[in-house]
Structure 1
């Protein structure tokens, strides 16, 4: 195992390209196409499910004992619920996100036959000159939001004549701003920063020509924000799954704002004892800034994979994120730290040889839960200085 240089500029440019592609859950074909183009440029083989989830493979020496790393390309969004008598549009959310974060957002509505319309998500009481203090007293919920399109629309009939219908997708402008001081601000860093980090890690491994001990699948799912996640992309050959997603910065949380956060538990329960501690051990050995955290109101691709009946070891690796599911902020160093960790994890041997088989005897089952240690790291403990 050795550190490999991470191309920070590649991660930054990839993130900007991903953010520029609207991809609310259910409308992800364009962003899937982009990710496939990136994989092709890196010479990484891949295949797609019917709905477009990507399963790419970095081959290793052992083709019968697989691991996987997953990030999701879908984002939050909205959908037209109804055409209102006044010509404005009733909306519902795609995914779970607060209405107060949607208020004032500039959006694109995607109608049938390729037609697009621009507009703004507004509270029903949007003008203080009309409603005075009522603008602040109105509850923030999706029932009190509407979409105002920038078109000559004054009635339901006008909206209908433009071809607007219930079920039209609404994509919210990400409004990215990547500052020179390292702070990256945008909607939908969850999880496009994770996708960029995973692609950056893969690029580093491919270009450094390191040999992997076992096949590593790079998974890109298309419906994590609605709870389906990695349930539809595993095929029984994966023993270890790491989800890459956001770590929430907030009071009483222990997320690392400039490094990696390893989640020990989320709302679905604890992550795998051994896999989580191996990741911590890699960070300790290679001096990757990191912390551990527990998330109470959180689920990821890993939870969906387990709930689908996969008996696999799972872990959750996070980049820092402030104001999750709102106008989000991370830091370049955190995203790059995630890429560093993933590139090293890909080079580790399997946690347990017994994991090659779905079921086995007691004799080869771990005897006790001990702190992770791996002799293969002893000779490279000082190599972290080589990491770009």
Structure 2
């Protein structure tokens, strides 16, 4: 038995986080994933929301599994072009303005033209603004400084920038010698990389899965409905692969796979959770059980949509979620190992 190659997984992760994909503007990254899977001769199709579904037939075609991870990320959209030539933003996804202060960004116009900029407080200069440290980090005070010669709103519009254009954040991905991966958008591109490597492993080993298994690469999770559709009637188990959230009172760390027992939507399926724990223990996989108090996944979105499924949630532990995130390659490896054994295991029902 050989687990997926961690170096290949990390390279995939780097490629993915470097493709801008805020919710609502994910075609480029979906195309990347689609090309990767097509080169493996894996059957895929896009749903009308723009997500991608890959299907691998199994021995049992009357009972299906679905695993999902999402490529959409946090981001922003141009809300207003200010008289000064700077941009006011409206946020996409659940995060705070303070987490993007000082970040480099990219503005993409509706025609596909791309410009760079920096997200700053209006009152940044301490030589001019006495309250620079006390002003609230909010929509009124934060703005984008565009890296072009623009002196007013008309200059900005001449570039083709308009209200509604998408703004993405520079991921600044770095992999350290000590095995840490620090980057924006590890939520959830780390998990997408893991699933792509898992599919490659299935393909390379000519593995016959016990059940027909679908892999949904969803593209609207950060706004709540990426994985709530395109679930076949035969699907029994639905496993979301997403980040484990770290912080005070949490069990999740950067080195193990996190198995969620409950989030803001309520408890995950008890039987599936126990099955995942048993697989981890049987195969020497390091894990943590945890509760995420302010969290929802594609699996919980599927339950809310009324699907009669067994739902679960696992993923690598991510520090500083929805800000400048970090994990360790051992967490990626433990998550990969658990999924490798899960897709070959028997269903709980």
Question: Is TM > 0.5 for Structure 1 vs Structure 2?
Answer: yes
Equivalent-residue separation in structure 2 for 1:146 and 1:13 (angstroms): 33
What per-residue deviation string (whole Å, max 9, x for no partner) do you get for residues 61-99 of structure 1?
Answer: 011100011000100111100111111111111111110
Which residue matches 1:375?
A: none
CA RMSD after TM alignment:
1.1
Using the size of structure 1 for normalisation, the TM-score is: 0.88
Q: Do residues 322 (structure 1) and 319 (structure 2) align?
A: yes
Q: Where does structure 1 lack aligned partners over 5 or more consecutive residues?
A: 353-388
Mapping for residues 1-388 of structure 1, pairs under 5 Å: 3-132=1-130, 134-352=131-349
State the partner residue of 1:377: none
Q: 1:40: how far off?
A: 1.6
Deviation at 1:161, TM superposition (A): 2.1
* Larger helix share, 1 or 2: 1
* CA contact 2:253–2:318 (8 Å) conserved in 1: no
- Residue 256 of structure 1 and its aligned partner are, at CA, apart by 3.2
Match of 1:361 in 2: none
CA contact (8 A) 1:229 1:302 kept: no
**Count of aligned pairs between the two proteins:** 349
Conserved? CA contact 1:66–1:240, under 8 Å: yes
The structural deviation recorded for 1:128 is 1.0
Cα deviation for residue 205 of structure 1 reads 2.3
Q: Tell me how far apart the structure 1 counterparts of residues 236 and 265 of structure 2 sit (CA, whole Å).
A: 19
Please give the per-residue CA displacement for 1:150-190, whole angstroms capped at 9, x wherever unaligned: 11111122222222210011111100001121100000000
The gaps in structure 2 that reach 5 residues or longer are none
| Greater C-alpha radius of gyration | 1
C-alpha contact 1:221 1:233 (8 A) present in aligned 2: no
Misfit runs of 4+, over 6 Å: none
What secondary structure is seen at the aligned counterpart in 2 of 1:220? strand
TM value normalised by structure 2: 0.97
Q: Distance in 2 between matches of 1:344 and 1:256?
A: 21
Alignment deviations for residues 295-345 of structure 1 (CA, whole Å, 9 cap, x no partner): 110001111111111011101002010000100000111011111111111
Verify the 8 A CA contact 1:62 1:215 in the aligned structure 2: yes
**Alpha-carbon distance in 1 for matches of 2:60, 2:2:** 21
